[in-house]
């Protein structure tokens, strides 16, 4: 339909039922003149009527001081538009333009309060059309709140002491808020993305670094294991599982051990090598020749060392027997010596008896002599012989006694000769006793040596009996001669009497000699065999060691190869590529942000360029200040975390260049003047034009004194717009506006105090 979007519509009627403070009885406002002034006390519902228009068109309204759009899934938040106790809210708008009529109705039921569930009906000249405010009136909710009905929140934000809020309000009024939001959103997204990317990159780099370190470590281990393997018998070609398996099989065959390789499976090979090592070690210790060697060494010890000791004992005994023979030969036998000794002792006894008798005679004679001498007689007198008791001349008797004494006791007397013979007999007895002792002793020594000889021989036989018990039942060809001789010795030993008297020394000696020779020969053969076995075992051990080094290398290589899956991990590579893409995305985002920033700044600058002259003009019209008669608006851009922001400077200016902006330096009233001037200037702006043909100023006289209020009324009433909608609590303002626009152009509607029972009502209505 051609009329759509081509006309400037005039809002003719607003009919409200069950919306906010308006009850089910409803409220109808006829806008049949260019200027409509709603006057009423605070809370009477002036703003509600403006909100009803906004709600009808968009389903939501601006809320809060900054006029943010309500976007919430909370049903109660949407339900709040419905008057308390009413089942539904309904607003009906009527527009007219060049003979066309357009009706717009929105109804919201209590049960389904979402805007999407509202019943919205739009009829153009009685025909339904799509209820799209942008299509029909060229107005969006954002533009409505910015340029059609800025609301008290927008006015208050413009004079807020908080510069951030003022800047945000001006951004909103200039229509760059969405662009700024986009910039801020993109900046935040970039920041978040960057932060996330850094975290992921750090994790990925950490993982890669860890993986690289592990690869380096395992590579070094593999290199060391390879060097160790090549230092042994292996060649580079042998360092494969298959070659290791073949080597293991060959060695197993050499050691006569069955091996399992499973085609070079490393675990199996490891077990196989352990088994081969055990076998090689067993060969080293040698259970065959080694044990025989032990047995032969023991026999050899008996047949040589013990035999030597026995032979020495035999020799000692023979020497002693020889000496005994010589001694007997020189001294006689013990029997002979014993007989001689008896004879000598008898002779000595006879001699001693004779000597004693002689000494008795001498003593008697001596006593007689002494008695004669003592006799008181002369030598010629007779005296009775004391011996024979015959009378004898004393001198004769004395002479006779003296002669006898001289023959007995004189130097050559008989007593002396007998004494010498006694001494000789005693000496002979001593010599005979000594010889007898010597012979006896020697005889005993011979006996002792014979016993020792016997003991040693018995010991040899006892030992050989022990050895015989250890010999195998079926001795091999090396050990058989030894076993035979041992048996012969034992057989001989069985014939020896317990006292050793039947010891066949020569025969035993001969057998032991042959045993020693046989044992020595067997031992030489055995040790030769052992040397050969050990050499073979050592060679096998070295091969096992070499194979173990090979398997160590293969294991190290397998451990390194295990990391191939991580190196070739698709997710890892994809993550890395994705991060690269994110890097690129972040860069793109940055570029978009820069473009959006630039557009925002340019848009703000362009709007400022358009609005600045009108702002000054409007301020002049509204201000009654003696000095501050102009106004200026600038915008600069400052970089901030997360992006750039527009920073506005809106000031009242004096003739002499003094400037003062919103804030404590400017009075509240002039701040309001500055804000209203800005709203009026913006509404004049071409970019704010819509097909709705409506401008609503909601209580623009806050903090104004009566003079200023009047001046404001005069001025705003002359705004060039099809429908001007003013709300106020001030009669003065209404009067001034009426005067300014001309009474015929103004419809004044007075609202009564709001009551719970009646809601919002116009005067004249019940």
Footprint of other proteins on this chain (CB under 8 A)?
Answer: 208, 211-212, 215-216, 218-219, 222-223, 226, 236, 557, 560-561, 563-568, 570, 573-574, 576-577, 580
Question: Closer CB to other proteins, residue 204 or residue 592?
Answer: 204
Give the shortest CB-135-to-other proteins separation in angstroms: 45
Going by C-alpha positions, the residue among 164, 33, 159, 324 that lies closest to residue 665 is: 159
Q: Dihedral (C-alpha) 408, 412, 415, 418: value to the nearest 10 degrees?
A: -140
Q: Dihedral (C-alpha) 338, 341, 347, 352: value to the nearest 10 degrees?
A: -130
**DSSP code, position 519:** H
Give the shortest CB-228-to-other proteins separation in angstroms: 13
Give the shortest CB-291-to-other proteins separation in angstroms: 48
Alpha carbon distance 762, 540 (integer Å): 119
Question: Closer CB to other proteins, residue 236 or residue 595?
Answer: 236
Question: Closer CB to other proteins, residue 236 or residue 343?
Answer: 236
Question: Closer CB to other proteins, residue 490 or residue 563?
Answer: 563
Give the shortest CB-560-to-other proteins separation in angstroms: 5
Alpha carbon distance 496, 502 (integer Å): 5
Give the shortest CB-266-to-other proteins separation in angstroms: 16
Residue 368's H or E segment, with its range, is helix 334-374
Give the shortest CB-221-to-other proteins separation in angstroms: 12
Question: Closer CB to other proteins, residue 484 or residue 559?
Answer: 559
SS3 content of the chain, % helix, strand, coil (to 5): 65, 15, 25
Rounded to 5 degrees, φ, ψ at 13 are: -150, 140
Give the shortest CB-213-to-other proteins separation in angstroms: 10
Give the shortest CB-574-to-other proteins separation in angstroms: 7
Question: Closer CB to other proteins, residue 212 or residue 487?
Answer: 212
Greatest extent of the chain over all pairs of C-alpha atoms, in Å? 236
Give the shortest CB-557-to-other proteins separation in angstroms: 8
Question: Closer CB to other proteins, residue 385 or residue 566?
Answer: 566
Question: Closer CB to other proteins, residue 211 or residue 539?
Answer: 211
Question: Closer CB to other proteins, residue 169 or residue 560?
Answer: 560
Tokens of 351: 């001699």
CA 387 to chain CA mean position, Å: 139
Give the shortest CB-225-to-other proteins separation in angstroms: 11
Alpha carbon distance 715, 619 (integer Å): 10
Q: How close are the terminal C-alpha atoms of the chain, in Å?
A: 42
**DSSP code, position 493:** H
Q: Are 37 and 726 in contact (CB under 8 A)?
A: yes
Q: Are 150 and 158 in contact (CB under 8 A)?
A: no
Mutual angle of helices 505-562 and 480-493, in 10-degree steps: 140
How are beta strands 643-654 and 68-69 bridged, if at all?
A: unpaired
Question: Closer CB to other proteins, residue 455 or residue 567?
Answer: 567
Tokens of 128: 């339904």
Give the shortest CB-117-to-other proteins separation in angstroms: 48
Give the shortest CB-565-to-other proteins separation in angstroms: 8
CA distances from 742 to 35, 379, 657 (A): 9, 230, 37
Alpha carbon distance 310, 324 (integer Å): 21
Residue 15's H or E segment, with its range, is strand 10-17
Question: Closer CB to other proteins, residue 524 or residue 584?
Answer: 584
DSSP secondary structure letters along 211-261 = HHHHHHHHHHHHHHHHHHHHHTT--GGG-SHHHHHHHHHHHHHHTT-----
DSSP secondary structure letters along 710-729 = HHHHHHHTT---SEEEEEES
Question: Closer CB to other proteins, residue 339 or residue 567?
Answer: 567
Q: Are 157 and 66 in contact (CB under 8 A)?
A: yes
Give the shortest CB-191-to-other proteins separation in angstroms: 26
Give the shortest CB-197-to-other proteins separation in angstroms: 17
How are beta strands 628-640 and 391-393 bridged, if at all?
A: unpaired
Question: Closer CB to other proteins, residue 205 or residue 319?
Answer: 205
Question: Closer CB to other proteins, residue 236 or residue 357?
Answer: 236
Q: Are 631 and 674 in contact (CB under 8 A)?
A: yes
């Amino acid at each position: 339909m051609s009329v759509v979007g081509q006309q400037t519509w005039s809002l003719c009627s607003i009919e409200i039922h069950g919306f906010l403070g308006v009850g089910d009885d409803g409220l109808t406002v006829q806008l049949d003149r260019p200027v409509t002034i709603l006057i009423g006390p605070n809370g009477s519902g002036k703003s509600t009527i403006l909100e009803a228009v906004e709600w009808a068109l968009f389903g939501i309204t601006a809320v809060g001081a900054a006029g943010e759009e309500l976007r919430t899934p909370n049903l109660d938040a949407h339900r709040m538009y419905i008057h308390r106790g009413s089942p539904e809210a309904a607003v009906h708008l009527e527009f007219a333009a060049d003979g066309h009529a357009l009706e717009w109705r929105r109804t919201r039921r209590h049960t389904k309060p979402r805007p999407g569930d509202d019943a919205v009906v739009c009829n153009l000249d009685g025909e339904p059309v799509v209820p799209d405010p942008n299509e029909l009136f060229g107005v969006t909710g954002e533009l409505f709140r910015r340029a059609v009905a800025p609301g008290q929140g927008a006015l208050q934000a413009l004079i807020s002491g908080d510069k951030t809020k003022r800047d945000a309000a001006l951004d909103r009024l200039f229509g760059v808020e969405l662009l700024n939001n986009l910039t801020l959103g993109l900046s935040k997204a970039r920041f978040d993305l960057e932060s996330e990317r850094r975290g992921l990159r750090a994790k990925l780099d950490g993982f890669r670094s860890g993986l690289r370190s592990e690869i380096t470590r395992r590579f070094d281990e593999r290199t060391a294991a390879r060097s160790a393997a090549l230092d042994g018998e292996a060649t580079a070609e042998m360092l494969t599982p298959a070659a290791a398996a073949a080597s293991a099989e060959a060695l197993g065959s050499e050691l006569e051990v069955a091996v399992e390789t499973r085609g070079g499976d490393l675990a199996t090979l490891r077990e196989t090598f352990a088994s081969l090592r055990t076998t090689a070690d067993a060969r080293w210790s040698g259970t065959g020749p080694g044990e025989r060697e032990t047995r032969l060494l023991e026999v050899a010890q008996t047949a040589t060392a013990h035999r030597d000791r026995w032979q020495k004992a035999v020799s000692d005994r023979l020497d002693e027997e020889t000496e005994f023979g010589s001694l007997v030969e020189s001294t006689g036998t013990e029997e002979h010596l014993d007989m001689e000794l008896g004879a000598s002792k008898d002779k000595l006894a006879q001699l001693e008896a004779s000597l004693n008798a002689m000494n008795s005679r001498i003593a008697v004679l001596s006593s007689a002599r002494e008695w004669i001498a003592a006799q008181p007689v002369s030598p010629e007198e007779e005296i009775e012989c004391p011996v024979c008791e015959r009378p004898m001349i004393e001198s004769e008797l004395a002479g006779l006694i003296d002669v006898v004494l001289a023959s007995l006791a004189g130097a050559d007397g008989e007593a002396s000769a007998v004494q010498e013979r006694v001494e000789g007999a005693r000496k002979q007895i001593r010599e005979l006793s000594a010889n007898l002792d010597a012979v006896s002793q020697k005889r005993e020594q011979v006996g002792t040596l014979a016993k020792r000889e016997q003991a040693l021989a018995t010991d040899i036989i006892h030992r050989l009996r022990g050895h015989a018990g250890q010999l195998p039942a079926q001795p091999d060809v090396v050990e058989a001669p030894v076993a035979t001789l041992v048996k012969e010795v034992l057989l001989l030993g069985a014939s020896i009497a317990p006292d050793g008297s039947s010891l066949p020394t020569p025969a035993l000696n001969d057998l032991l000699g042959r045993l020693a020779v046989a044992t020595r020969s067997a031992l030489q053969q055995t040790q030769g065999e052992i040397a050969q076995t050990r050499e073979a075992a050592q060679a096998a051990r070295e091969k096992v060691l070499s194979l173990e080094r090979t398997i160590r290398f293969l294991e190290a290589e397998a451990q390194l190869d295990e990391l191939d899956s991580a190196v070739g991990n698709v997710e890892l590579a994809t993550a890395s590529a994705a991060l690269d893409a994110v890097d690129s995305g972040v860069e793109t985002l940055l570029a978009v942000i820069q473009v959006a920033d630039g557009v925002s700044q340019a848009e703000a600058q362009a709007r400022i360029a358009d609005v600045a002259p009108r702002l000054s003009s409007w301020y002049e019209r509204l201000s009654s200040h003696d000095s501050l008669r102009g106004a200026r608006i600038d915008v600069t851009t400052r970089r901030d975390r997360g992006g750039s922001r527009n920073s506005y400077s809106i000031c009242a200016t004096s003739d002499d260049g003094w400037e003062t902006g919103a804030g404590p330096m400017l009075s509240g009233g002039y701040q309001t003047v500055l804000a209203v001037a800005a709203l009026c200037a913006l509404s004049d702006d071409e970019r704010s034009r819509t097909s709705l043909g409506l401008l609503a100023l909601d209580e623009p006289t806050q903090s104004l004194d009566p003079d200023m209020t009047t001046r404001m009324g005069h001025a705003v009433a002359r705004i060039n717009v099809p429908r001007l909608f003013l709300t106020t609590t001030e009669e003065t303002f209404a009067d001034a506006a009426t005067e300014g626009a001309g009474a015929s152009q103004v419809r004044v509607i007075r609202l009564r105090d709001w009551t719970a029972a009646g809601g919002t009502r116009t005067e004249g209505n019940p």
